[in-house]
Every structure is written in structure tokens, then in C-alpha cells.
């Protein structure tokens, strides 16, 4: 019997089950990849699914090809390039996918976090060496602007949480 409770906390499931399974086997179930898309931006999940299906003939085939390509390369910049150039993801979604699959190496390029670390949020679709350099600077800013001793994922959560809370406090002022 499937334990459906694990799907309630999607980020936890993705980080504790999907990511480790991918790193061990090089595979991702289509439903799990779809959950990553939902986790990043539910409003765009069907747009992504349709684009991937059109490119690969089926969503299942696209997910299989993506997983295989990512698993076969060890270079971080190549992984980002695969998702952006090869599959048409913008940097926020590409880094969300990579954050789940490689949480020690990637953090989500997010508008809130950009604001917290003082980076201009440019959600571009075109991969370039300059984009990679900008992303590395962004990741370093995330590391340096959040408290020491946290994992990269928790640093990201801290910055998103701070941004959210400060916005709420600002909105509640009389």
C-alpha cells in the first residue's frame, strides 16, 4: 500500500525520496518530475509538460532523456545548459529542478531570494557562460547572506522566509 502521507509535504518528498533515488539510479518517474514542476510554479506545469511532450513525443520520454542527460554529466554548468538549451526551461525552473536533484550544488534562482541578496532578478531562457557566472555569484551571495551552519537548501529557505515575513509585516502596518 502506498503511503500517501509522504506526498503531502512535496518539498520534503522531493528532497528525501526523488533526489536521492535519481542520484543513485539516474532515473526520475514522470509523476515525480511533474511534482518538481508543481513545486516550483504550479501555474506553469502544463505549459512545461506540453513543451516537453512536443519535443520528445511523450512526457515520459522527455523525463527519461532529461534524467539520463543530467546523470551522465558531472559538470554543474553543463547540467544547467542541458535544461535551458536542450529543453527550454528558464533559469528559475531549471535551478529548481537541479536543486531537487543536486541540493548541495544548486539553489533556486528566485525573485524573493534575488531581492534578499541584492541581485537583479533576470529570469532568462538563454544559457550562456555569462549567465553561468551570474548564477555562481548569486549562489555565493545566498551562501554569504544567510546564517552560517545551514545547508544550501536551508539558506535558500531562510532568505525566502525572511522576504515573505518582511512583506507580511509591511502589509500589516496601519
Domain encompassing residue 93? 4-172
Question: pLDDT at position 1, please?
Answer: 82
DSSP annotation of 151:
-
CA gyration radius for the chain? Answer: 16
Q: Is the dihedral of CA 158, 144, 116, 125 positive or negative?
A: negative
Residue 173 backbone dihedrals phi, psi, to 5 degrees: -70, 140
Question: pLDDT at position 26, please?
Answer: 98
Residues in the chain, pLDDT under 50: none
Question: pLDDT at position 122, please?
Answer: 81
User: For residues 37 and 100, what is the distance between their CA atoms, to the nearest angstrom?
Assistant: 11
Long-range residue pairs from 25-32, CB within 8 A, at least 24 positions apart, any chain = 26/67, 26/68, 26/71, 26/72, 27/64, 27/67, 27/71, 28/63, 28/64, 28/66, 28/67, 28/101, 29/63, 30/59, 30/60, 30/63
Question: pLDDT at position 42, please?
Answer: 86
Of 75, 70, 89, 71, which is closest to residue 127 (Cα–Cα)? 89
The C-alpha cell that represents 91 in the structure block: 533559469
Question: pLDDT at position 97, please?
Answer: 98
User: For residues 101 and 80, what is the distance between their CA atoms, to the nearest angstrom?
Assistant: 12
Q: How many structural domains does the chain have? A: 1
User: For residues 142 and 162, what is the distance between their CA atoms, to the nearest angstrom?
Assistant: 13
Question: pLDDT at position 7, please?
Answer: 86
Amino acid at each position: 500500500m502506498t503511503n500517501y502521507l509522504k506526498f503531502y509535504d512535496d518539498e520534503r518528498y522531493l528532497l528525501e525520496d526523488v533526489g536521492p533515488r535519481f542520484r543513485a539510479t539516474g532515473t526520475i518517474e514522470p509523476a515525480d518530475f511533474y511534482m518538481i514542476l508543481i513545486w516550483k510554479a504550479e501555474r506553469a506545469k502544463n505549459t512545461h509538460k506540453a513543451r516537453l511532450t512536443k519535443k520528445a513525443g511523450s512526457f515520459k520520454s522527455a523525463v527519461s532523456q532529461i534524467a539520463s542527460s543530467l546523470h551522465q554529466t558531472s559538470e554543474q554548468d553543463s547540467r544547467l545548459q542541458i535544461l535551458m538549451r536542450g529543453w527550454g526551461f528558464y533559469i528559475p525552473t531549471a535551478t529548481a529542478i537541479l536543486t531537487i536533484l543536486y541540493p548541495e550544488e544548486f539553489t533556486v534562482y528566485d525573485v524573493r531570494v534575488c531581492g534578499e541578496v541584492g541581485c537583479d532578478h533576470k529570469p532568462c531562457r538563454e544559457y550562456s557562460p555569462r549567465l553561468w557566472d551570474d548564477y555562481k555569484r548569486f549562489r555565493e551571495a545566498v551562501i554569504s547572506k544567510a546564517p552560517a551552519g545551514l545547508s544550501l537548501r536551508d539558506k535558500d529557505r531562510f532568505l525566502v522566509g525572511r522576504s515573505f515575513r518582511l512583506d507580511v509585516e509591511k502589509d500589516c502596518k496601519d
